[in-house]
Amino acid sequence: MKISVQPGDFDVGVEIKNISKNNSIGAVASFVGLVRDVAMTLEHYPGMTERAIAKIVDEAKARWQVIDCAVIHRYGALQPNDQIVMVAVASGHRGDAFAACEFIMDYLKTQAPFWKKEHTPGGAQWVEAKAVDDQAAERWK
């Protein structure tokens, strides 16, 4: 199980290999989020962020078979096309791996304390939370 909140980039291939070292694993599902269009700075709440992600992973483990997983989220200055976040879930079968991966991502968007500030030519502004993200998390209830 790996949870990391870090300024630096990550290698999805390496992370997937690291969570696949168990003979009972038959499926690994992963998601990678990238910066679209504009540069941004990501702020977070050190301590609470890791704790919130750990709680989301625990919730996923209570619902699906999660043999291992990796959740990495970056903070600091990011440029268009940079990787921001990755979630990878290793399970016995693909159904659990897909569902747990999507669940972790949906909850992360509404529960983990990160804030994006976009740097546009017109100035910097904080990104507003989207109702569609709340709805995505709600459907798992």
Shortest distance (Å) from residue 110 CB to another protein = 7
Q: Report the nearest approach of another protein to the CB of residue 90 (Å).
A: 21
Residue 74 or 96 having the CB closest to another protein: 74
Residue type at 17?
K
Contact indicator for 6, 72 with CB cutoff of 8 Å: yes
Contact 82, 98 (CB under 8 A): no
Contacts of 140 (CB under 8 A, 6+ apart): 103, 106, 107
Return the number of the residue (70 or 73) whose C-beta is nearest another protein: 73
Give residues in contact with another protein (CB under 8 A).
Answer: 33, 42-45, 47-48, 51-52, 73, 84-85, 105, 108-117, 126-130, 133
Is residue 71 within 8 A of residue 50, CB to CB? The reply is no
CB 19 → another protein: shortest distance, Å? 20
Retrieve residue 17's tokens: 């290999």
Three-state DSSP at 25 gives coil
Q: Residue 57 or residue 73: which is nearer to another protein going by CB?
A: 73
User: 17 or 138: whose CB is closer to another protein?
Assistant: 138
Is residue 124 a contact partner of residue 39, using CB atoms and an 8 Å limit? Answer: no
Smallest distance, another protein to C-beta of residue 108, A: 5
